[in-house]
Structure 1
Amino acid sequence: MKRKHLIHILIGSAGLFLTWWLLVGENQPARESIIFFPLNEKAQYQSANTLLTLNDKKVNDSYEVNWKISSVLDQDAYLRQDIGFLYFNGRLKAKMSEWEQNTDRIVEEETAQGKESSLLQTISFHYSEIHENEETYTSAQSMSEDQLYVIDSNFSPLSSFRKPDTSSEEEWKSILDKVTGQQLQYNWEKAMKEFKINGKEYLQIPLIKLPEYTSSPPEGFQPEQWNELVGNLWEGLYKNYFLGIRTSAGNIADPIDSSMPLILIGPKTGNVLVLLTTKEGEPVLLQQKFPVQ
């Protein structure tokens, strides 16, 4: 019988993190980290992009996809960091992170390999830590995403598309959407059953869909409240998913080949739950709270 993973609290309070960083002081070197600070109303991203591009030629029966993340803030930040997740048919295939100090921009690029027709989905979080003075730290954030259907068939040349233009592409889109959706739904329902969660009580958002709510937050959320929730959520995802999944045995499991997380948000209870399954199929529940207005 597979063991459940212990419920793990993602975030405490932003104030606690702020206190710790103030104690560190300006003389200490910056280090890779995503910490939610109050959002800086004056800092804006001039661009924030994630792009998938299929390379035309196969290598050792595998195709290669170029994966690029880039962003530019309208000012230099004490710390700039972008992180990204890349999923093949709902499973984490690769992750990427780059950080630099005292700059306004980040550009990072990698390649990923695949062998079968797949739905590729990627999401990035663009983060800036801004020091207005020695006592005032703020942050700026943005998200971007991309998806690509790659068709690797013995009956046609290697190809890709974002939106179908032909009946054949329509058919492939339907197949890959169905296969990916069914597998993810199975994993999420399994996890909800394990942890006795009533999904009807929550707003359910697959991680890849999170950017869709940036300009229009879910009903019941003011933009400022939603942006704070998203910032704290990504801090938790970075520490407890990107860097590794802590198991009930106290080990850190590699997130590669884990399922895409499902975000469950309870507007009335202030609960945010993150459901996923590991490579081995074990359900994982991450949890945090947000203040209910």
Structure 2
Amino acid sequence: MKYIWLSICAFLIFLMVFYFYNVSKEETVVKYFPIAEDVTFDKAETLLSYQEGEGDDEYEVGWKTSSKSTEPVYLRQDVSLLYVNGRLKGVVNKWKENEAKLTKHSTLHGEETKKYEAISFHHGEVHKGEDVINSIQATTYDKLYIVDSPHSKRMAFKNAESKEEEEWQNKLDHSIHQQLEVQWDGLKSYYQIPQGQYEQVPLTDLHSFNEENPFPYTSSEQYNRISGQLWEGLYKNYVLGIKDAKSKHPIQSYIPLLLFDKNGKHLMVLYEDDQGEKHQLIQYY
């Protein structure tokens, strides 16, 4: 009997060690290191696509992330966030060791008129020898408008090409922006953010910045470090969710707001989880 209890205890200890090892490893996967000079991405892409559904009132949305580095690296990871009408609906997080290529495809059930947005961070950890660690990174984005109205034929488009599509695009964008502004104003008021001190950028706009077009009030030389450390913080605090006894997480929450200090000293990330708890992340340059 004593031997059985010892075996059970040893097994439970093994499970605890295994669990905490995996959680710790997962939480530190996305980590910024100086950008590699001899390894880059051949390809990095986020793609949303429309697919017919089985019924007249249903359709499917394809959600694909893919990336390929010029050579296999120690650790490859793609993280993608999907927002529907401004609310987080899904997170894809795929990683492999000693790989160059990653591909992940998901299909979501959809109905009614909606705007779909997906933003992805593609990351690679490059080990050269025992002491030198570098990284590669890229941010990609895609959007898809699906109009499912009883008064018109179902439409799916990324950018309006007709007057009818333009009207629907403007209507959706305006409605979503109004909801986001209410959410963001509440967060700025809660954290007493001084008006006029920051330039605000939705998280879904991160793809529009690069070395040639750096973040507001920063320089091209700072871009890679700020972007890499920003995604490192987002992954740990936002993507992995808020793990506690109440199982709170950011699913169903609105798109986070990024605030760039006009003095070029720091940025903030403001968001609210599905339980209504507000969060503020601060990153100093």
**Alignment partner, residue 13 of structure 1:** none
Larger Rg: 2
Deviation at 1:174, TM superposition (A): 1.0
Whole-Å separation in 2 of the counterparts to 1:156 and 1:77:
49
Where does 1:103-252 land on structure 2 (aligned, <5 Å)? 103-214=99-210, 215-218=212-215, 220-245=217-242, 252=247
CA RMSD of aligned residues (A): 2.1
Deviation at 1:225, TM superposition (A): 0.8
**Alignment partner, residue 6 of structure 1:** none
**Alignment partner, residue 279 of structure 1:** 274
Stretches of structure 1 lacking an aligned partner (at least 5 in a row): 1-27
Is the CA contact (8 Å cut-off) linking 2:197 and 2:262 kept in structure 1?
A: no
Tell me which amino acid in the other structure corresponds to 2:261.
Answer: G
Deviation at 1:44, TM superposition (A): 1.3
Deviation at 1:271, TM superposition (A): 2.1
Where does 1:51-70 land on structure 2 (aligned, <5 Å)? 51-58=47-54, 61-70=57-66
- The secondary structure found in structure 2 opposite 1:245 is coil
Q: Which of the two has greater helix per residue?
A: 2
Tell me which amino acid in the other structure corresponds to 1:196.
Answer: Q
Whole-Å separation in 1 of the counterparts to 2:56 and 2:195:
43
Is the CA contact (8 Å cut-off) linking 1:119 and 1:147 kept in structure 2?
A: yes
Where relative contact order (Cα < 8 A, 6+ residues apart) is larger, the structure is 1
CA-to-partner distance for each residue in 1:101-158, whole Å, 9 max, x for gaps? 1111110011122222111111000000000111111111001000110111122333
Deviation at 1:199, TM superposition (A): 4.2
CA-to-partner distance for each residue in 1:178-221, whole Å, 9 max, x for gaps? 01111111101110001100242112111111111113114542
For the pair 1:83 / 2:115, whether they are aligned, the reply is no
Is the CA contact (8 Å cut-off) linking 1:240 and 1:246 kept in structure 2?
A: no
Is the CA contact (8 Å cut-off) linking 1:56 and 1:158 kept in structure 2?
A: no
Deviation at 1:59, TM superposition (A): 5.1
**Alignment partner, residue 15 of structure 1:** none
- The secondary structure found in structure 2 opposite 1:180 is helix
Stretches of structure 2 lacking an aligned partner (at least 5 in a row): 1-21
For the pair 1:41 / 2:37, whether they are aligned, the reply is yes
Whole-Å separation in 1 of the counterparts to 2:198 and 2:54:
43
